[in-house]
Amino acid sequence: MVWSEIECAPREKIEALQLRRLQKVVERAYRQIPFYRRAFQRAGIVPQDIQSLEDLALLPFTRKSDFCDNYPFGLLAVSLEEVVRVHASSGTTGKPTVVAYTARDIETWAEVMARTLNCGEVTRRDIVHNAYGYGLFTGGLGVHYGAERIGATVVPVSGGNTQRQIMLLQDFRATVLCCTPSYALYLAEVAQEMGVNPAGLDLRVGFLGAEPWSENMRREIEERWQIKALDIYGLSEIIGPGVSSECLAQEGLHIFEDHFLPEIVDPDTGERLPYGEYGELVITTLTKEALPVIRYRTGDITKLTIEPCACGRTMVRMAKVSGRTDDMLIVRGVNVFPSQVETVLLQVEGVQPHYVIIVDRERGAMDTLEVWVEVSEEIFTDELGQLADLQRRAEHALREGLGVSARVKLVEPHSIERSMGKAKRVIDRRDVYGKGEA
Ligand code: DLL
């Protein structure tokens, strides 16, 4: 059983609904948001030019940098009086990307998250262990409202305190696990260390996302926990989690297309690509009130298909995200731009602007972030106490600035390789996509 009839509707019906909604959202964006009005005018477009879904290609793109330029509330289509919630994720500069919701947007979000959980046949009899972070991150509250909408029992455990999470999983006998894939593996590892067999618990399905993960990692998680591990996708700018979800067929993620209109474009030229070709996912929101977004360049690489799915849903499916077009790293579900690391480091007195960022997946599970940075000559030749203090200050600044902890290794002046061209700032040792996979 699907959650909403529209998920299995004939394509013509879905597309007719999309066009009606698209015309409305374009009109609203033009009328209410000066940023869009200016962008449309530059492109020589008026809302009446949108007569078919293909006409979407006439509209200009929106990018993450547009959120930064209009920080914090410049892209809203409503007054703050109508906003009932804000969330935020990392931006390309020091400032976060701020997103906002009206009461109806929260309803829409609960609806698409209920559909997501329903894709794994979650019902009111289930107990949902929700280890996505609660707070400005959209993961925790997004899953929470969807699970409540279904009537399931939510355990709002959030991230961290891993041993306690294992105890709660045992005692409450949760049947559904929601967290990032790397945390799912780490949880399994900690359970084993505590002498608890993860496969012996009551979990049967996991909704894992917020970061890229490979089919190999899926196999590993499914085996250790003896669950079906489903991939869920979303991003704050569009709504949070709830943009698309795998069903139990595990053959791609159904995009909830009556709310989010997807396209695939060539990341270099912006040309639209046909079904089946890999490119950058671009999304237009069709129903968002507070923050309608037109042709958002997600930076995520995937492909679309409208082939029928075994589950009966007719909504377009996207392949597992296979990478990103920019240098954004995702560490334990938190977005981190190398430029942010630089901004933070350069505010710490005593370090030099020569650094590398090393991302790894320790003990096969949790992502770790390590920053190697050169120190000034004076400090280096000084006593050890000062170095230890500098390391602490740098680690503190990174944790505050990035929202995720990083280990700092202070290295000798001139020991980090200098670059002749584009500096290679990041060494990513996680093999997230799994070698040899499409
Ligand atoms: O990560 C929303 C979310 C929360 C999705 C919980 C799923 C579960 P942001 O913090 O704004 O929002 O980060 C969005 O994360 O553009 C992708 O690059 C990446 N991402 C999200 N889900 C997946 C996934 C949330 N399933 C950015 N596979 C997106 C690969 C993903 N990458």
Q: What is the pLDDT, as a whole number, of residue 434?
A: 44
Residue 52 has pLDDT above 90, yes or no: yes
What integer pLDDT is reported at residue 438 of this predicted model?
Answer: 28
Measured CA to CA, the distance from residue 391 to residue 394 in angstroms comes to 5
Mean pLDDT of the chain: 92
Strand order in 296-302's β-sheet? Answer: 260-265, 279-285, 296-302, 323-324
pLDDT for residue 324: 84
Q: How far is the CA of 240 from the centre of ligand 1 (A)?
A: 8
- Residues 300-340 have pLDDT tens digits of 999 999 999 999 999 999 999 987 888 888 888 888 888 78
What pLDDT score does 137 carry? 93
Compute, in angstroms, the gap from residue 152 CA to the centroid of ligand 1: 23
> What is the model's pLDDT at position 419?
65
Find the mean pLDDT for residues 154-158: 97
Residue of 233, 250, 297, 326 to test ligand 1 pocket, by largest number of atoms within 8 Å of CB: 233
Q: What percent of the chain has pLDDT over 90?
A: 74
For residue 192, the Cα-to-chain-centroid distance in whole angstroms is 28
Instruction: Give the dihedral sign, CA 255/260/261/267.
Output: negative
Residue 172: Cβ-neighbour burial (10 angstroms; 0-12, 13-18, 19+): middle
What mean pLDDT comes out for the span 64-87?
97
* CA 275 to chain centroid: 23
pLDDT in tens, 415-425: 988 766 556 78
Contacts 24+ apart (CB under 8 A), 164-169: 165/129, 165/131, 165/190, 166/190, 166/191, 166/194, 166/196, 168/129, 169/129, 169/201, 169/203
Domains belonging to the chain, first-starting first, are: 1-322 (3.40.50.12780), 329-433 (3.30.300.30)
CA of 360 to the centre of ligand 1 (A): 19
Token pair for residue 382?
């000084």
Binding pocket residue ranges, ligand 1, CB within 6 Å: 89, 132, 138-139, 209-212, 231-236, 240-241, 298-300, 321, 324, 330, 335
**Quick one: which of 47, 89, 64 has its CA closest to 283?**
64
